[in-house]
């Protein structure tokens, strides 16, 4: 079975976000239209929204460039986050000790599809 849908995606790699905090936002926008998702990301008070909004705009631009699809006809098909490498740093403490600091990174993948080509 060949898939002839107009699907495009964008990936943001090595983002300095926690996977838990990014997935909380992605759960809100998954399955929404492009315009609804942009509004949610624009007015939500979380730092992860800035990066996710850029990735969503990139996926929409990919669909517009590749297939000539209007952005208003797009729907978010997939939105997920994968764990990236952890940057390990150390904070000096009293008596020569070192306190470890873990700075997580993540990879966010967004896939958009045209509303007309959905199969239920």
| Residue of 78, 72, 73, 65 lying closest to 108 (CA atoms) | 78
User: What is the torsion angle, in degrees rounded to the nearest 10, for the CA atoms of residue 35, residue 38, residue 40 and residue 41?
Assistant: 170
Q: Say how far apart CA 20 and CA 23 lie, in whole Å.
A: 5
Query: Which residue range(s) make up the domain with 22?
Result: 7-114
pLDDT digits (tens, 9 = 90+) for 76-103: 999 999 999 999 999 999 999 999 999 9
Number of independent structural domains in the chain: 1
Average pLDDT over residues 17-23: 93
pLDDT at 120 over 70: no
Please state the pTM of the whole predicted model: 0.85
Which has more confidence, 117 or 108? 108
Residue 91 lies in a domain: yes
Residue 20 lies in a domain: yes
pLDDT at 118 over 90: no
């Amino acid at each position: 079975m060949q898939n002839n849908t107009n699907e495009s995606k964008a990936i943001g790699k090595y983002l300095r976000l926690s996977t838990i905090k990014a997935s909380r936002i992605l759960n809100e926008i998954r399955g929404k239209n492009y315009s609804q998702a942009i509004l949610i990301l624009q007015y939500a008070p979380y730092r992860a929204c800035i990066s996710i909004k850029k990735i969503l705009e990139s996926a929409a631009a990919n669909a517009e460039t590749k297939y000539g699809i209007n952005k208003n006809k797009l729907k978010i098909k997939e939105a997920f986050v994968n764990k990236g490498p952890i940057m390990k740093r150390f904070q000096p403490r009293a008596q020569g000790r070192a306190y470890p600091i873990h700075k997580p990174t993540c990879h966010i993948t967004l896939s958009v599809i045209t509303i007309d080509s959905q199969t239920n």
